[in-house]
Copies of this chain bind each other. A is one copy, B any other.
Amino acid sequence: MRVSFLGLGVMGYPMAGHLVKAGIEVRVYNRTTSKAEQWAKEYAGQAFATVADCVKGADVVLVCVGNDDDVRSVTTSTSGAIANMKAGAILVDHTTTSANLAEELLEAASQAGLRFMDAPVSGGQAGAENGVLTVMCGGNQSDFDAMQIVFDAYAKSSVLMGNAGQGQRAKMVNQICIAGVLTGLSEGLLLAEKSGLDVHTLVDCLKNGAAGSWQMENRANTMAQDKFDFGFAIDWMIKDLGFCLEEAKQHDLKLPLTEASTEAYKALSAEGLGRMDTSVLLKAIRKQAES
């Protein structure tokens, strides 16, 4: 099996590396060529300067880039993957995008005699580096089955959520849940702070009960220490929550918490905190609480 990987960011770089370690032949492309060359050196793989050259003859093309337009530029553009892949090959998009884009890509891939699956991941940079991501897939069962050998290289689990777009919609639910957990955790920690409770003791006490969450277990202590320079950047969260609100709008749904969180993250980003972890929401909620 020959796999081409487009996009070597903090996620794609280690994911492509895991494929090499799994014994798969990997060709890579990255917009900034030097990053692709660095990767090729580190993993004794092959880097290409254009998408067309990279995907030529590949059985599987994996994409992991930034936003919807970044995906379009490496897939549906005239110099993109779809125009250059061999018939019957599969295009898998690991980028978190709008569900509409997933449907657009399915359409374009089908017309070109290709297969397509949207497959956003969760688990963050650490999950990518340790090969323990979760993959949320939108596509058909046989393509999903065929992709297991690939996903297994960097994911601890992959789940088929439905047709194209449903992987993206599952990821949206994931992000909305995170926003809710962090909003409650922030208000709770503010009260704890004012009350003089020791957060470490508090978390130990609460984490296995009905208030428990991954964020409480993994972020409450760093939040109490005002430590946010790591983890999942809020600039990406703003993008992801934007997809949620766009999707909700298409269903005439109002999601006040998701909206409020998006606004809070935008305000934090405007203050220059765009690269901080999503748990930095505490700062916005503190400001609001004390105003």
Please report A residues at the B interface, Cβ cutoff 8 Å: 99, 122-124, 134, 136, 157, 159-162, 166, 169-170, 172-192, 194-198, 201-202, 204-206, 208-216, 218, 232, 244, 247-248, 251-258, 260, 288-291
CA distance A195 to B166 in the complex (A): 8
Contact (Cβ within 8 A) B184 A176: yes
Chain B residue with minimal CB distance to A122?
A: B209
Chain B residues near A244 (CB-CB < 8 A): 191
A103 to chain B, nearest CB (A): 12
* Contact partner, A213, options B161, B169, B181, B251, Cβ 8 Å: B181
- A/B interface sample: 9 pairs, CB < 8 A: A99-B195, A170-B192, A173-B189, A176-B188, A177-B188, A180-B182, A191-B255, A195-B251, A254-B289
Contact (Cβ within 8 A) A209 B253: no
- Specify the main secondary structure of chain A where it touches its partner: helix
Contact (Cβ within 8 A) B195 A257: no
CA distance A258 to B188 in the complex (A): 9
Interface-centre pick from A160, A175, A176 (highest chain B CB count, 10 A): A176
Minimum-distance CB pairs A-B, first 3: A180-B184, A177-B211, A213-B213
Contact (Cβ within 8 A) B198 A162: yes
Interface-centre pick from A99, A177, A198 (highest chain B CB count, 10 A): A177
